[in-house]
Amino acid sequence: MERFAIIGFGCAGYHGLRAIREAGCSARVDVYSETALPPYNPMLTTYYTAGRLPYEGLFPFGTLPEIAREYEAELLTGTRVAKVDAKARAVTTADGTRREYDKLLVATGATAFVPGSFAHLRGAFCMRTVEDAVALHDALEKREYQNAVIVGASMVGIKVAELLHKRGCQVTLADMAPHIFALAAYPEVSEMIEARLRKLGIELAFGQAITGAEETLDENGQVKETTVRLADGRELKTELLVLNIGTRAATGILDPKEVQTDRGILVNERMETSAPGVYAAGDCCQGREMQSGGQMIIGLWANAATQGRVAGRNMAGGSAETDGNILHNITHFLDMDFIGLGDNRLTGEVRTYQSPDKGFYIQAVLRDGRAAGFNILDNYRVSGILKAHLIKLLRGQAGPFSPEQRGQLIRCGLEPAFIEALEGKK
């Protein structure tokens, strides 16, 4: 009987296991996970912390016993993998146990990045894992914070800002980038969002490097206050510091001499690495990004699911491929919706549309008469159609919107002239 291993059990690992079984493969599958938790969605952690989601809601696939029973897997929870010998397809755990397999799926995800200037802090919080969410949730239950500094103006950072703002906390959002959502929003759209945030009373400190941070302790040795220092000399004093600076692919268990890596593990359209029999999926790997044609980490839940399914089918002996994905983000915060589709670094002809009642705004970038990216404010209903249109163009299937899509866009408030501009019609 063949023997497989899945290292890491998030979205990609779960879908890899499921695909193996749905393909009719009866191989023994060992699943390694450092935690004793079922697979969870990191983007839901802020909803739990805010009290908008029960703890059980963090785990969309059920409990570990349910998963193990349904997919006949050996779940090695609380087991840290120290090393993977890619040539021998062997897994060595922290206690020195070594097991060899016929095929491996590395789905180790990504970890929160904490710069050295913050590494010594005792009282700072992150927001990535369930444990992070529980820690911040419990801290907010125990103490009423008057002010907070959030470092990292990301999709997660803004959700943390929202939950603290709604608790009556004075929030400062800080980032080295010049604008909010620097990797997804066009500058004009960032400025619109920032104006709304300032109107709500949220303070912004963008475009400044953070040079250091120091904690002040009370008489009981607990963190009373943190001082965050900016490159321009300013000091931000806060009772609560939350770090959402970014993530790094968890690739440390692999030897780069055995498996090609860059920012993540490099994979082909079958999710195969450079080592035979070793696959990778999810936030730890660089798959194809459709606009550039290069390999990029696309840290999205749906992307991890697709990559996991492709890897699992091929491990089971199938022939599955993915032609990649595009950069896209969607988030709802403080009664606003923001959707970014495509690489916001691409430039071209800019077309904008604002509904007559100013209920929503769309900015599109066209290159050679073809859509290259979209920013959408407050109209999430059109995002699926526009994303499908963009992917269709990238696959070389140029053409107008279907009658159904056109009708839906008009019902969502777009005028025919703007729709025709998106189709490349003058």
Residue 295 has pLDDT above 80, yes or no: yes
What does the pLDDT average to over 44-64? 95
Tokens representing 399?
């053409």
The b/e string for 4-32 (b: 16+ C-beta within 10 A; e otherwise) is bbbbbbbbbbbbbbbbbbebebebebbbb
Say how far apart CA 366 and CA 409 lie, in whole Å: 18
Model pLDDT, residue 210: 85
Average pLDDT of span 241-262: 94
Confidence category of residue 358, pLDDT binned at 50, 70, 90: confident
Q: Residue 125 half-sphere exposure, CB side, CA atoms within 13 Å?
A: 28
Side-chain half-sphere CA neighbours of 12 within 13 A: 28
State the Cα–Cα distance between residues 74 and 66, nearest whole angstrom: 12
410 phi/psi in degrees, rounded to 5: -65, -40
The Cβ of residue 36 has, within 10 Å, a number of other Cβ atoms equal to 10
Q: At what angle do helices 64-71 and 11-22 cross, to 10 degrees?
A: 30
Read off the amino acid at residue 8.
Answer: G
For residues 237 and 271, what is the distance between their CA atoms, to the nearest angstrom?
Answer: 46
DSSP 184-217: TS-HHHHHHHHHHHHHTT-EEEES--EEEEEEEE
Q: Which of 397 and 328 is assigned the larger pLDDT?
A: 328
Q: How far apart are CA 40 and CA 291, in angstroms?
A: 29
Arithmetic mean of pLDDT over the chain: 94
Cα(108)–Cα(101) distance, integer angstroms? 17
Cα four-point dihedral sign 217, 223, 224, 226: positive
Q: Would you give the DSSP letter of residue 39?
A: P
What pLDDT shows up at residue 18?
98
Mean pLDDT of 20-30: 98
Checking if the pLDDT of 252 tops 80, the result is yes
What share of the chain has pLDDT > 90, as a percent?
86
Residue 333 has pLDDT above 90, yes or no: yes
Q: Are 286 and 296 in contact (CB under 8 A)?
A: yes
Report residue 76 as tokens: 């090695």
Sign of CA pseudo-dihedral 305, 246, 329, 158? positive
Please, are residues 163 and 186 in contact by the beta-carbon 8 Å criterion? Answer: no
Within 13 Å of residue 10, how many CA atoms lie on the same side as its CB? 28
Q: Is the pLDDT of residue 369 over 90?
A: no
CB atoms within 10 A of CB 399: 10
> What's residue 303's pLDDT?
95
- Per-residue model confidence as pLDDT tens digits over 163-200: 999 999 999 999 999 999 999 999 999 999 999 999 99
Q: Tell me the C-alpha distance between 361 and 239, whole Å.
A: 36
Strand bridging mode 336-341 / 328-333: antiparallel
Quick one: 68 exposed, middle or buried, by C-beta within 10 A (0-12, 13-18, 19+)? Answer: middle
Over residues 67-126, the pLDDT tens digits come to: 999 999 999 999 999 999 999 999 999 999 999 999 999 999 999 888 877 878 889 999
The pairing of strands 203-206 and 170-175 is parallel
pLDDT band at 310 (very low <50, low <70, confident <90, very high): very high
CB atoms < 10 A from the CB of 143, how many? 11
Q: Assess whether pLDDT exceeds 80 at residue 425.
A: no
Confidence (pLDDT) at 426: 59
Which two three-digit tokens encode residue 52?
A: 């908008």
Distances in whole angstroms, Cα of residue 365 to Cα of each of 219, 317, 369, 386, 419: 57, 42, 9, 12, 13
* Amino acid at position 256, single letter: P
